Amino acid sequence: MVLNSPDPAPGPEQQLAASQALEAFLSAFVDDYSALAVLRGLADGSSPDEICAAAGLSRTEYQTTQKRIRRRILRVCAKDSQGTLQ
């Protein structure tokens, strides 16, 4: 007996929603080249050393950028939970 299991891959609607969510998320960093470089590198699966090399960041700048990203994410999430984001 063969059971049809649901396909674990996201469908086109889920892919579109994920893509739109990622772009909205990245728009919070439009004014921050270093943050965008780190986020895109992480999304691509790059290592911290690869991201630093590609973006021209020192290890300290990379770590500082990560902290800035975390703080901004927390602010964005806090605004969103208050219903202030559209």
Q: Which of 71, 75, 53 is nearest to 62 (CA)?
A: 53
**Rounded distance, CA 64 to CA 71, Å?**
11
Give the pTM. Answer: 0.68
User: For the chain, first and last CA: distance in Å?
Assistant: 48
The pLDDT > 70 percentage for the chain reads 85
Residues 44-85: pLDDT tens digits? 999 999 999 999 999 999 999 999 999 998 887 787 676 554
Q: Are 34 and 65 in contact (CB under 8 A)?
A: yes
**Rounded distance, CA 39 to CA 17, Å?**
18
